[in-house]
Structure 1
Amino acid sequence: MSSRAHVAVTTATRPTPAGPEGDRGSLRDSIRRRPLTWFFSLAYVLSWAAWTPYVLSENGLGVWNFTFPGAAGSSQLLGVLPGAYLGPIASALLVTGVTEGRTGLRAWRRRMTKFKVSWRWYAVVLVSVPAALILASAALAGRGPELPSATVLAAFLPGLILQMVTTGLAEEPGWREFAMPRMQRRYGPVLATLVVGVLWGCWHLPLFLSDWGGGPDVGVMKPLEFVVSAIALSFVMTWVFNRSGGSMPLVMLLHCGINNYISIAWSDMFPTLSSDATTHALLLTSTAAALVLLLATRGRLGYVPDATTATKPLTEVPSHQLHRL
């Protein structure tokens, strides 16, 4: 056999490389090349698929002759929470694992446990969220709030902790921790926040066909108002995320502070307002805060791009600079 023939045979029988060249055209390669597309798609597909039984049950459209157990909204723990966990957080973990491996997952865990932020940030979030909602609710009611009962005061902190474990942990590791740094690096803070806000708000839409959103006979305006509120609130959350150096516990606290106040204290303090007024109050407060922050920061929302880290993978960027990506 000639040397030329030997080279041809050797080349033909050589195994495909195990690295990026060998993965080209595979599912793994597709996820690596389009992590954001895969994250958003998986977040929607996994959550909506898991929510389908709840929406079709007696808690929703009534197509399925089954009622999820629980009273006073507790049925949502079994009907809604599994889909919430399967969507944003599971998708973020999956895409991070595929694109950045164990190093990326360890970095993700460090950012998720970044509690070391000035106490002033925690004080501002804990006080400003209920204060803003109280002011908006008072404007809608045309009167001041009633003093919360002892039961509400006793349940407020445990409720906030529960919200952090359920709503906060299920949603924010995906929308804010995974998506926002990558979106800001590519599109800047305003456009990135707008896109994430729209996708985050619309992700909730099937739930408006269930008792979670007052369904199934719910009009168009309520979910539309909810999505607009989510977009406006996203600008506030982006500012907190950027200014706090990417502290996810603080971002989760902001989100859960809203849910906790509405779930526990709102009806006790404003008994004359209907349940739909919570959406109006959230729209007023989030829109006002978003406009103030956009004007005060001239659209930067605390984002400071760094040319030395703009082209690096997130796992190679120092933790103190992650909020700049």
Structure 2
Amino acid sequence: MPSRLRSHIAERPIAWFFALSFGLSWLVWTPYVLSRNGIGVLAIDYPRIAGTTQLLGVLPGAYAGPLLSAFALTAIIGGRPGLRRWVGRVARWRVHWFWYVGVLAGVPAALTITSLPIMGDWRMPAAAVLVAFVVGMVFQLSTTGLAEEPGWRDFALPYLQPKYGPLRGTLLLGPLWGAWHLPLFFTEWGGWPEFSVVEVVEFCGLATAISVVMTWVFNRTGESLPVAALLHISVNNYFSTTWSEIFPGGDGGSVTRITLIASTVAAVVTIIATRGRLGYAPAESAPRTEDLAEA
């Protein structure tokens, strides 16, 4: 790679990351958006696997966007030392058991409590739902978690926090993370053709609120990406495997609203409790200058 281009990337890693993540994902998602599973311009039907077209329609774009962009930019900017730090955060499983219990129990509890006054009628789920929840967590960790979080939290956040601070950096990351999903609203993923602009705004809001809590978890666990990713996918997995069993008859609009309320409350509490620091320790979180010098 020409040294001038490499220098330009090293000087603007965040701009390059978001440009590549959006560009690559949206490019790969274009056939899905145009297919019969989207706006119907192309006579293409994506096959259903496990009852959904998202595995072939959504996941390839997610892998091509934040994951591939983060890997490529880390290699260009930091070389092997940078990749070792990046992969090290992905594999940082060894944290106190409290964090795993807190995420795996806390997320479903918060979403259930928030749902009760909104949904009204509820029922006890069957024991098989717990099995489905565990299986779903493993599956989503290797799909959604692996596709997205090495980019958003493992690459972008360690650059954003030193430059803007943990809170402002997160308030930049959250809306962009939400906006990255925009083309998917024109597919089955987003309930096309029945979604509204309000739902898109609510989704970006909940992505921002969740990001606040995820930043705190990421920082407080010594930059453990697995724990932060578990928080992300716990929300998805709860609604995929458990919520409808407790609250039958719910719809996508209720899911978005409930998640927005629960995540906003959690974000406000986190900001107040940490005074906006979100557990950030600058010396530990900033990308190493010697890694950049290797580029």
Selected match of 2:289 from 313, 322, 325: 313
CA distance change for structure 1 residues 309 and 240 in 2, over 3 Å: closer, same or farther?
closer
Task: Check conservation: 2:124, 2:246, Cα contact below 8 A.
Answer: yes
> Cα offset for 1:71?
5.7
> Cα offset for 1:309?
8.3
Q: Does residue 1:130 correspond to 2:111, yes or no?
A: no
1:276 counterpart SS class: helix
Q: Does residue 1:121 correspond to 2:99, yes or no?
A: yes
Counterpart position of 1:106: 84
Counterpart CA distance in 1 for 2:229 and 2:272 is: 24
Counterpart CA distance in 2 for 1:158 and 1:286 is: 24
> Cα offset for 1:149?
2.2
Counterpart position of 1:86: 64
Alignment of 1:132-281 (within 5 A): 132-143=110-121, 145-281=122-258
> Cα offset for 1:274?
2.3
1:202-241 superposed Cα distances (whole Å, 9 cap, x missing partner)? 0001100000010133211111111100011110001101
Moved more, 134-143 or 116-125: 134-143
- Aligned AA for 1:265? T
1:302 counterpart SS class: coil
CA distance change for structure 1 residues 72 and 311 in 2, over 3 Å: closer, same or farther?
closer
Counterpart position of 1:10: none
Task: Check conservation: 2:158, 2:287, Cα contact below 8 A.
Answer: no
Q: Does residue 1:41 correspond to 2:7, yes or no?
A: no
Larger Rg: 1
Relative contact order higher in (CA < 8 Å, ≥ 6 apart): 2
Counterpart position of 2:54: 76
1:48 counterpart SS class: helix
- Alignment root-mean-square deviation, CA: 1.8
Counterpart CA distance in 2 for 1:314 and 1:283 is: 40
Alignment of 1:283-294 (within 5 A): 283-294=260-271
Task: Check conservation: 2:203, 2:260, Cα contact below 8 A.
Answer: yes
CA distance change for structure 1 residues 270 and 98 in 2, over 3 Å: closer, same or farther?
same
Task: Check conservation: 2:223, 2:285, Cα contact below 8 A.
Answer: no
> Cα offset for 1:310?
5.6
- Aligned AA for 2:174? G
1:165 counterpart SS class: helix
Counterpart CA distance in 1 for 2:179 and 2:228 is: 20
- Aligned AA for 1:28? R
> Cα offset for 1:74?
2.2
CA distance change for structure 1 residues 194 and 208 in 2, over 3 Å: closer, same or farther?
same
1:44-99 superposed Cα distances (whole Å, 9 cap, x missing partner)? 00000000000000001000011100066521100100000000010000000000
1:61 counterpart SS class: coil
Counterpart position of 1:32: 10
Counterpart position of 1:23: 3
> Cα offset for 1:155?
1.3
1:238-269 superposed Cα distances (whole Å, 9 cap, x missing partner)? 11011111000000110011110000111111
Counterpart CA distance in 1 for 2:287 and 2:201 is: 37
Task: Check conservation: 1:104, 1:314, Cα contact below 8 A.
Answer: no
1:215 counterpart SS class: coil
Which segments of 5 or more consecutive residues in structure 2 lack a partner in the other structure? none
- Aligned AA for 2:151? G
- The share of aligned pairs that are identical, in percent, is 51
CA distance change for structure 1 residues 183 and 57 in 2, over 3 Å: closer, same or farther?
same
- Aligned AA for 1:113? A
2:108 counterpart SS class: helix
1:152-175 superposed Cα distances (whole Å, 9 cap, x missing partner)? 222111110000001101111100
Q: What is the TM-score when the length of structure 2 is the normalising length?
A: 0.94
Counterpart position of 2:43: 65
1:116 counterpart SS class: coil
Task: Check conservation: 1:107, 1:315, Cα contact below 8 A.
Answer: no
Counterpart CA distance in 2 for 1:175 and 1:313 is: 21
2:252 counterpart SS class: coil
